[in-house]
Homo-oligomer: A and B are copies of this chain.
């Protein structure tokens, strides 16, 4: 992702939720894509979870997508990966503190989604 892509195409002033160098765009890219929300939701519901347990819970996800999504979420600081040197190896994933702040916002957005859906009927 280049610097240009992070910037909102519109030169935002403080009225705009995008602000100047759009952290809103960044936020949406971090939680965007097909599997990020399902992963965050699973970890939010059940807490610390192992790789294959996640794979079973998130219906339809492949190894490719689960592994790459987990890696991105970890790089973005939303989850932590803990590996235990047992045999066979055990790897656990859990939400970090930044997600504690994210979840209430997503809940508001979900409620907005409900309203939008109703108004279009």
Chain A contact residues, CB within 8 Å of chain B: 8-10, 12-13, 15-19, 22-28, 30-32, 35, 37-38, 41-42, 44-45, 57-61, 75-78, 98, 101-117, 119-120
Contacts and interface: CB of A to CB of B under 8 A. Distances in A.
A10 B43 CA distance: 10
* Copies in the assembly, this chain: 2
Contact of A45 (B9, B15, B44, B75): B15
A23 B110 contact: yes
A10 B45 contact: yes
Given A112-B102, A120-B77, A41 B18 contact: yes
A101 B109 contact: no
Nearest to A110: B24
Given A15-B45, A44-B15, A112-B101, A117 B37 contact: no
B27 A45 contact: no
Nearest to A25: B37
Given A16-B45, A37-B25, A44-B15, A10 B120 contact: no
Contact of A24 (B77, B78, B106): B106
